[in-house]
Structure 1
Amino acid sequence: MFRNGESVGESLVRRNNVMLGHYLDDESTSDATFDDGWLRTGDLGVMHNDGYIEIGDREKDIIVSGGENIDSVEIENALTAHPDGAGEQRLPRRHIQNGVKRRSNLWHAGRR
């Protein structure tokens, strides 16, 4: 990411406590990490001049689970269209047999 508040880029992280790789998945590890220790998060965002990073999207919207491709945007749109919903968040989780699963949280807007 460039520190200009305009250019969208992928968030990379590097620390001594960041994961070493995907369990039993060398190909995914190779896609997500660099030799110098940087990890590709898949999060897209903008870095503002003050160093604040605003995450706005994900690089991939397709979830592969049990050999099926699932469009996470379609799920998100269905959740946010619910009349009692105030917001929605998708969180990726790894599943050993089925690949990536996402858990969605829907916030209730309260009584009307």
Structure 2
Amino acid sequence: MSDTVVANALYQQDSMPVLAEHGFTRLRPGRGIYRAINNARGMTCPLLGQVMSRGYSRTHIKSIVTKIEIDLMTQQAVLVVLCPVEPPKLEHRQLVLLQVEPRWSVSGPGDERAARVR
């Protein structure tokens, strides 16, 4: 398992207090690039949380929501995206963007570009 995968998994786990404040519970493995988490109504929602690598751009998030929008509406779910810095301005009824600072600095050598949400 790569350092990036481990860092992202830890970031998602560490984000549970903030997720819980917003009514999300039961973080667990999901399908593909997503982890799964339950919303306040008990529905399973896909979760993306990436502090390393390229982060998430506004365009990338919008394309993901568009791609899975029918599934989200059918399942009464939302896509939850964790961002280590201020999230991009993007509103969608099937999307929740949460800023969660990681427990480690994201501004270390070489990591600044990686942690920035473009």
Q: Normalising to structure 2: TM-score of the pair?
A: 0.26
Query: Which of 1 and 2 has greater Rg?
Result: 1
- Larger helix percent: 2
Q: Normalising to structure 1: TM-score of the pair?
A: 0.26
Higher relative contact order (CA 8 A, sep 6+): 2
